[in-house]
Structure 1
């Protein structure tokens, strides 16, 4: 769920990143809000796990954009190899600093505090650290799940970013598109692996790549809904309706376990399509709200990496102290945003390619 590739940036895409990370953080709130009645009631008709699909569709879209714009002049095998290596190095440099830092923190706390109930046994935490370090966390998580399993998504994305460009440059655009369509249709009805298959749902990334090919083949200036006289209120209502659908529809399809992931990917694809038309469906809120949405959306990767470790750090630091649950929760939320900003400024921003 890396959140930007290259210089192509749209405000609506940043807004979608805001909603995606909001979904992910909401999904993880039981860590700090155990047995909360209001939260449980909301979860009865929503499933914000679909925020991952939204992140993946965005990532797939920008990967296709990069490949399509940069690889047309590459013909010889040596040039393809060099190009692939450059893509991999750029991706690793972009993701690694925040990821490696925030997988090291739980490992260090596990080693120092020996609080196995909070941080897991140090040998298991070490196993998770190295699995994350080599981008195989989704494979490791199948056998030993833990509170820090959220890193599976970044491992899956890295695996996709390694395999997809290789397939694209080897077999060409047409065969890659056909194969992607076949895989997406197949995964509507069957997902290999049974129960753990939810950690291998790479089809939303394929939906994102296919969306780019569709968008690049049409004239957005003619299709653009800017020609339709929609007020900011109506645009916001449509945008929020799509976001709400992304939370509600997969939950309504809970008994169609395989297809609900595809449904989330489809809704996410529509959201990204509306966003790349740059018509303001996700940025027509009042100015102050747009600034908040853009600010958090721009830091969504850092927030994703740090939110759970920070919550556990506060658990560790407040253990044994006379502090109320409400005060601890406030401290965890504040610390999460402070850590997000520091992570963004120190570990993420320096590695974002400037235009």
Structure 2
């Protein structure tokens, strides 16, 4: 079951709210002789998480099917990069699992002991069974918090984002579990900040999306992320203020980023192809709306373009800070 994005946390009776964790969604099948972990996209993740499969096999009866989020908890916050490392660890996987153990934060029960499918039961009943099932389970297998109190929701959104809470998922207590349907609601914590346009997909005359950057402490413009597709009106207005990179010595265009952008710069789980783009003179500042998934000095998800900032110099944009520091940053001097 999926969640539809909303612009505000829903209010009303018969609603419960849960933290939206920054990890990988997974369905865990406790079969008679094994455990099978399936990603949201249907990918088999079992071999990458021997620590989780061992824990489920030890304390969950056969037939049970769990829905939850895989996370790696490190120094008081989730570490998404450690999840990604599991896929490429190879022979180092056992050591990686020992040094950076994963956790499965469980939020739904699809089949109970003996394989009894319960997706047609109301969420409140599924939750009650899940609570009993996980009573006494080790910390690696934990029940996600749930509340009806909007004050608690505000606490999560204000103070838990640094720990790896991306937002809130809201569900109806009487709702059944409907695979593939967006019957839940998700509100992402977002920040309003600024960035510099370093390139565009499409053409300068007709940009399709923006490639954004920020200066690091050494004065280098570093790639930090990409916007969602622009509207026709947004594209037309930006085209009027964008220009190709200035010529350096010997008539060669000077630009700090490679062409095309390396596939590894996207930060996605399934690596895409290198991205061809049009380089622009990094002179235009824009306001963006981004979520809190910021790591390796880039926004992992696409950001929303809001408006140009002709009143701002590129040196007014927050500096790109070190790993783990606030991505809203401190304006450059």
Common fold, TM-score beyond 0.5?
no
TM (norm. structure 1) is 0.22
Tell which structure's C-alpha radius of gyration is larger.
Answer: 2
Q: Which has the higher strand share?
A: 2
TM (norm. structure 2) is 0.23
Q: Which has the higher helix share?
A: 1
Of structures 1 and 2, the one scoring higher in RCO (CA 8 A, sep 6+) is 1
